[in-house]
Amino acid sequence: MPLKLIRQDITKLECDAIVNAANSTLLGGGGVDGAIHRAAGPALLEECRTLHGCNTGQAKITGGYKLPCKYVIHTVGPVWQGGGHSEEKLLRSCYRSSLLLARENGCESVAFPLISSGVYGYPKDKALKVAVDEITAFLLENEMLVYIVIYDKSAFRISEKLFNDIATFIDDKYVDEHFRFDFRNRATGESTVLSDTAMLSLDDDELIGKTEILPSFSEAPRAVGSAPSASLDDALKQIDESFSEMLLRKIDEKGMTDAECYKKANIDRKLFSKIRSDLHYKPKKTTALAFAIALELSLDETKDMLMKAGYALSHSNKFDIIIEYFISNKNYNVFEINEALFAFDQALLGV
């Protein structure tokens, strides 16, 4: 099951367990620790008293009390001292210990704040990388839904170089900062004109699922065939191929197993089974793209796969341009792509 990056107050999240960035006394403090204790009520502190503290890099579990989760897993992150004091090793251990504890307690969903990245001073980009690395490694072997909760977006940044590269790429590709979009609602056929800003504030599903960009602004998708070298015969064979059929064919061609593919795509196993068993399944655009990335398709192949699901890639929205940036750079790491999408306030792939 997948990893989800979300922006929310962790104390409001409904899931089996939330993780607390605690200190070694486990008796409460500031930051997320304070917020969790306030929301859970005094009974949480009572139970914490019975645990007699916790070492850095380790984790202990309690009930969730008034919180909407069953458990709180308290872990103690390292204080950042410049990086030369085993901080990374200890932070990795926080994630591993917490995930193992969640598994032992039968949790199917668990949410982490960015441990150590507040009062303890661990640089946020480095803290995020550790979180993503450890959680994805765990998810390769385990079925669980894991959230990373980013609370303080203004302090959140992917590496400055990547951010700047993508920003430049967007500037180069974006049609015109002040142009207006023509959107047609598929259901009603009605046309609406939206400004750039309005488009970016639309709900993702609304934007991705229910609207299509009129041909004047979209790139015309190629008609048939996936690889540019495909013969006419191959192309004709594929003309009626559905999204599911193309997906399964590509998985075979790439020599991947189904599980390798949906895990790399950050897609839930149940959703994959649905797509596998329904040849006419119409995925969300973010799902279709997640598979294209997992399969390491070229830009042309990606456009073909999207077209099977009724979508196109265009230069008139940031989401599409960011995807194009990563495919052009042959970076097919769905988690890195999601970090970048998140940094630019876009919908995320997979899940």
Classify 43 in phi/psi space as left (phi over 0), alpha (psi -120 to 50) or beta.
alpha
Residue 221 as a binder of ligand AR6 (CB under 6 A): the answer is no
Residue 77 as a binder of ligand AR6 (CB under 6 A): the answer is yes
* CB of residue 96 to ligand AR6, shortest distance in Å: 16
Q: How far apart are CA 126 and CA 156, in angstroms?
A: 11
Contact assessment for residue 216 and residue 315, using Cβ atoms and an 8 Å cutoff: no
Query: For residue 284, which amino acid is it?
Result: K
Figure out which of the listed residues 4, 6, 29, 238 binds ligand AR6, where binding follows CB under 6 A: 29
End-to-end CA distance of the chain: 8
Q: Which residue has the tokens 């970090």?
A: 339
Residue 14 as a binder of ligand AR6 (CB under 6 A): the answer is no
Footprint of ligand AR6 on residues 141-200 (CB under 6 A)? Answer: 149, 151-152
Query: For residue 291, which amino acid is it?
Result: F
Residue 97 as a binder of ligand AR6 (CB under 6 A): the answer is no
Figure out which of the listed residues 2, 57, 64, 118 binds ligand AR6, where binding follows CB under 6 A: 118
Instruction: For residue 57, give the nearest of 135, 105, 111, 116 by alpha carbon.
Output: 116
Q: How far apart are CA 106 and CA 208, in angstroms?
A: 35
Contact assessment for residue 32 and residue 20, using Cβ atoms and an 8 Å cutoff: yes
* CB of residue 143 to ligand AR6, shortest distance in Å: 24
Figure out which of the listed residues 2, 57, 64, 113 binds ligand AR6, where binding follows CB under 6 A: 113
* CB of residue 111 to ligand AR6, shortest distance in Å: 8
Q: Which is nearer to ligand AR6, 119 or 235 (CB)?
A: 119
Figure out which of the listed residues 17, 23, 301, 309 binds ligand AR6, where binding follows CB under 6 A: 23
Q: Which is nearer to ligand AR6, 97 or 244 (CB)?
A: 97
Query: Which tokens go with 346?
Result: 């876009």
The CA dihedral of 136, 1, 77, 104, to the nearest 10 degrees, is -120
Figure out which of the listed residues 6, 45, 100, 119 binds ligand AR6, where binding follows CB under 6 A: 119
Only segment of 17-25, 47-55, 205-213, 330-338 that touches ligand AR6 (CB under 6 A) = 17-25
Q: How far apart are CA 249 and CA 206, in angstroms?
A: 30
Figure out which of the listed residues 115, 247, 251, 265 binds ligand AR6, where binding follows CB under 6 A: 115
The CA dihedral of 292, 297, 300, 305, to the nearest 10 degrees, is -30
Q: Which is nearer to ligand AR6, 116 or 314 (CB)?
A: 116
Q: Which 8-state DSSP code applies to residue 239?
A: T
* CB of residue 136 to ligand AR6, shortest distance in Å: 19
In angstroms and rounded to an integer, the radius of gyration of the C-alpha atoms of the chain is 22
Q: Which residue has the tokens 């974006």?
A: 174
33 is catalytic: yes
Query: Which tokens go with 301?
Result: 């192949």
Residue 120 as a binder of ligand AR6 (CB under 6 A): the answer is yes
Q: How far apart are CA 62 and CA 230, in angstroms?
A: 58
Only segment of 8-16, 84-92, 188-196, 338-346 that touches ligand AR6 (CB under 6 A) = 8-16
Instruction: For residue 334, give the nearest of 279, 278, 293, 297 by alpha carbon.
Output: 293
* CB of residue 286 to ligand AR6, shortest distance in Å: 24
Residue 31 as a binder of ligand AR6 (CB under 6 A): the answer is yes
Out of 16, 33, 268, 320, the active site residue is: 33
Residue 288 as a binder of ligand AR6 (CB under 6 A): the answer is no
Q: Which is nearer to ligand AR6, 39 or 327 (CB)?
A: 39
Active-site positions read 33
Residues that bind ligand AR6 (CB under 6 A): 9-11, 21-23, 29-33, 35, 77, 113-120, 149, 151-152
